Structure 1
Amino acid sequence: METTRQQIADQLRASPATAAELGAALSLPPSTVYEHLEHVARSVDGDESVLVSPPTCRDCGFDGFDDPMNAPSRCPACRCERVAEPTFVIR
């Protein structure tokens, strides 16, 4: 049986996903998935890397968030709470 982190890595090798999508597939809350993603990013082998499509504000399009590995609660530019989650993939 694979560990949770191995399952996350396998899913990200197959296709891009958000923490919410990974959480739904593995029955985990997104906050737990973010913790696992940090470890997965450090543990992938030298030929691979975890790529992150940063969160983006759905109102103003801002995508310059400080930490793309976390889902921000609101946009620092326009204060909107409609922020799309970051998307992760292993390539």
Structure 2
Amino acid sequence: MSESDSDATTRQRITDALREAPRTASELSETVGIPRSSAYRHLRHVAQSVDSGGEERFLVAPPECRECGFSAFDDPVNYPSRCPDCRSERIEEAVFKIE
């Protein structure tokens, strides 16, 4: 199996998991068996595929600071290291869903 085949399989498993229930990148990491950083990379591709298909939508509940509640991060398909408002590192992960 080539690397692109394994990527497609991983992305399909991520897509299937997001159709079942909303999940964070950490939850997808455990479910699919990949590092969290890879889950974010795959999520970008899944989002493009789903959004270009027309019938389904890729939804994101953005990350949120546990200290001040800030949630207007520039890139919701990412895990920010700290809050730009209060500088806290206590960030709740984004939640992803396909419906």
| Residue 46 (structure 2) pairs with residue 40 (structure 1) | yes
- Would you tell me which structure has more helix in proportion to its own residues? 2
Structure 1 runs of 4+ off > 2 angstroms? Answer: none
Match of 1:50 in 2: 58
Superposition TM-score, scaled by structure 1 size: 0.96
| Residue 23 (structure 2) pairs with residue 23 (structure 1) | no
Residue 3 of structure 1 aligns to a residue whose secondary structure is helix
**How many corresponding residue pairs?**
90
Residue 52 of structure 1 aligns to a residue whose secondary structure is strand
| Residue 7 (structure 2) pairs with residue 4 (structure 1) | no
Task: Give unmatched runs, 5+ long, in structure 1.
Answer: none
User: Displacement, 1:59?
Assistant: 0.5
Partners of 1:27 and 1:69 in 2: CA distance: 19
Partners of 2:18 and 2:56 in 1: CA distance: 11
What amino acid maps onto 2:56 in structure 1?
E
What amino acid maps onto 1:20 in structure 2?
S
Identity %: 57
Partners of 2:34 and 2:84 in 1: CA distance: 28
Task: Give unmatched runs, 5+ long, in structure 2.
Answer: 1-7
CA RMSD in angstroms, aligned pairs only: 0.9
Residue 43 of structure 2 aligns to a residue whose secondary structure is helix
